[in-house]
Chains A and B, each alone.
Chain A
Amino acid sequence: KAGVTQTPRYLIKTRGQQVTLSCSPISGHRSVSWYQQTPGQGLQFLFEYFSETQRNKGNFPGRFSGRQFSNSRSEMNVSTLELGDSALYLCASSLEGQVRQPQHFGDGTRLSIL
């Protein structure tokens, strides 16, 4: 069974640019969440999408946005990039059901801002 796939794996941008990251969840998973990981900060929740709707949102500025398509694939967009946006961006998918389910992560996109 294929896992969560994130593309690209690495990305270098400059301040002021924008970037789009992509995530394909595990087949059958309809919930997709995005996290930012920076050194010493752990994983910080960005947002979660389910059935093409944003269901939860973390405490990040509006420059961070996302969407989900009908096939559950998700994209995350960051506009007007800042040096502090340099981080590992992780996508996770999970099943929905009566019993709580863990999230399964992709290998992330390493974003570097110059």
Chain B
Amino acid sequence: DQQVKQNSPSLSVQEGRISILNCDYTNSMFDYFLWYKKYPAEGPTFLISISSIKDKNEDGRFTVFLNKSAKHLSLHIVPSQPGDSAVYFCAASGTNTGNQFYFGTGTSLTVIP
């Protein structure tokens, strides 16, 4: 039962343009969401988080948007850089899941110079 879904396995974007990565969830009890970036042969690196009391959170070039009614979140990267090429995972947890996070299957982003 995949409670967090990333329906785009891959995405290619030109350097300098915006990258938009999407994530959907099914559990209405999820209230804390994270994005991670993963390079090959390394563990996931935490990028940005958002709690359900907010609908937007920014950190430099990264912005996460949360649409609770649609159970949808997205990560915007502006401007995209070649070093952003990696696999991006979204993750979610809820007050009823403790510290257990549910992860999507990832989206592989390629930024073309």
Which of B13-21, B45-53, B58-66, B73-81 sits within the interface? B45-53
Category for how many chain B residues contact A: 20 to 34
The answer to whether B46 touches A104 (Cβ under 8 A) is yes
What string of 1s and 0s marks CB contacts (under 8 Å) between A97-114 and chain B? 000101111111000000
**Provided the pairs A4-B43, A106-B43 are in contact, do residues A55 and B99 lie with their beta carbons within 8 angstroms?**
yes
- From B32, B51, B103, A43 is in contact (CB under 8 Å) with B103
With a CB–CB cut-off of 8 A, which chain B residues contact A45? 100-103
Check if B99 sits within 8 Å of A50, measured CB to CB: yes
Alpha-carbon gap, A60 to B46, bound state (A) = 25
Cβ 8 A contact of B34, one of A31, A55, A102, A107? A102
- Per the bound structure, the CA–CA distance linking A100 and B46 in Å amounts to 14
- Does A81 make an interface contact (CB < 8 A)? no
Partner of B100, one of A4, A56, A106, A107: A56
> A41 — which chain B residues lie within 8 A by C-beta?
105
A22 to chain B, nearest CB (A): 15
Partner of B43, one of A40, A56, A100, A107: A107
Count of chain A residues with a beta carbon within 8 Å of a chain B beta carbon:
27
Q: Name which residue of chain A comes closest to B31, CB basis.
A: A100
A74 within 8 A of B: no
Give, as a whole number of angstroms, the nearest-CB distance from B102 to chain A.
7
Question: Whole-angstrom distance between the alpha carbons of A105 and B36 in the complex?
Answer: 10
- A105 and B44 contact, CB distance less than 8 A: yes
User: CB within 8 Å of B: which residues of A?
Assistant: 4, 6, 31, 33, 35, 40-45, 48, 50, 55-56, 58, 90, 92, 94, 100, 102-108
Known pairs A55-B98, A103-B34, A104-B46; list 5 more (Cβ under 8 Å).
A6-B43, A45-B101, A48-B100, A105-B45, A108-B43
Please report B residues at the A interface, Cβ cutoff 8 Å: 2, 4, 32, 34, 36, 41-46, 49, 51, 89, 91, 93, 97-106
Complex A-B, nearest 6 residue pairs according to Cβ-Cβ distance, in ascending order: A105-B43, A43-B103, A42-B105, A107-B43, A56-B100, A102-B46
